[in-house]
Amino acid sequence: MTTNQHKKQNAFAPLIVDVAVPLGSYYLFKGAFGMSTFAALAWSSVVPAARTLWSVAMQRTVNGLAGLILVVNIVGLVLSFVSGDPRLMLAKDSGVSSTVGLGILVSVMLGKPMMTAALKPFLVKGKAVREAAWERLTSGQSVASADFRKRERAFSVVWGTVLLVECVVRVVGAYTVPVDTMVWLGSVIAIVGMALGFVLGGALGAGPMEAMVSFEAKAADAGVADAETGNGEAGDGVEGGEVRGVRPEVALAR
C-alpha cells in the first residue's frame, strides 16, 4: 500500500470510526441479529462512548463527532420509550435531527465547527501539500485565513440550521397533515433537507474552501519550484511572487 493510500485512510479515519461504525453496527444489530431498537442503540453506543471517554481522559478534550453520535443515540434510547397516538410517533422522529442540528450550532458558538471533521478529508484528499495548505489556512498563516475560517463556520451553520428547520417542518406536519400522508412525506422532507444542506453548504462553505485550499497548495508548490530553479518562475505561466502575493479570491476572479 502506498503512502498516499495510508494518508487517505488516516484522513477518513474519524468518519469511519465515529460515524460509520456506530451507524453500521446499529443497522447490523437491528436487521441481521433481530435486536430491538433499544438494544441496537445501546450496543451501537459502545464505540462512541469509549471514544468520548478516551478523548476526555487522555486528551483533555471532547471528540466532537463521537460525542454527537453518543448524544443522538441517547436521545434515540429515550424516544424509544415514547408511545401514544400516531401523530406523536411521527413527531418523535424529528428528535434525532434536531439534536444533531443543535449540537452543530453549539459547536460553532464554541469556536469548533463540528462539520469540519467531516469536510476536511474531502478537501485534503490525503495529499500532504493540501494538508499543509489546510493547516496554514486554519492557523492564520495565510492571507486568506480569516475568510477560510468564516467559510468553515458557515458550512456548519448551514447544516445545523437545515436540520433544525427540517425538525420544525416535520413536527408541524405531524400535527397538521393527514397521518397517512405524513408517513411518506416525512422521508421527502428529510431528502429535501439533505439536498438543501449539500447545495447551500457547498455554495457558502465547501466550494470556496476547496478553492482556497487548492490555491494555497499551488502557491506552496510554486514557492518550492522557485527555490529549486532560482528563476522566479512558477507553474502554469504565473510568476511565483505573483502567486504568493495575490489573495485566492482575487486570483479566482481573473
Q: Cβ(34)–Cβ(23) under 8 Å? A: no
**Residue 115 and residue 104 in contact, taking contact as beta carbons nearer than 8 Å:** yes
CA separation for the pair 6, 27 (Å, rounded): 28
The predicted pLDDT at position 94 comes to 79
Q: How many residues does this entry show for the chain?
A: 254
Contacts of 68 (CB under 8 A, 6+ apart): 100, 103, 104, 114
Pairwise CA distance, residues 66 & 105, whole Å: 16
- Band the pLDDT of 234: cuts 50, 70, 90: very low
**pLDDT for res 36:** 76
For the cut 50, the answer to whether the pLDDT of residue 226 exceeds it is yes
On the CB side of 169, CA atoms within 13 Å amount to 16
pTM for the structure as a whole: 0.71
Closest CA to 168 of 98, 104, 224: 98
pLDDT by residue (tens digit) across 29-87?
777 778 876 777 788 878 777 877 777 677 666 666 677 777 877 877 777 777 667 88
185: how many CB neighbours lie within 10 A of its CB? 17
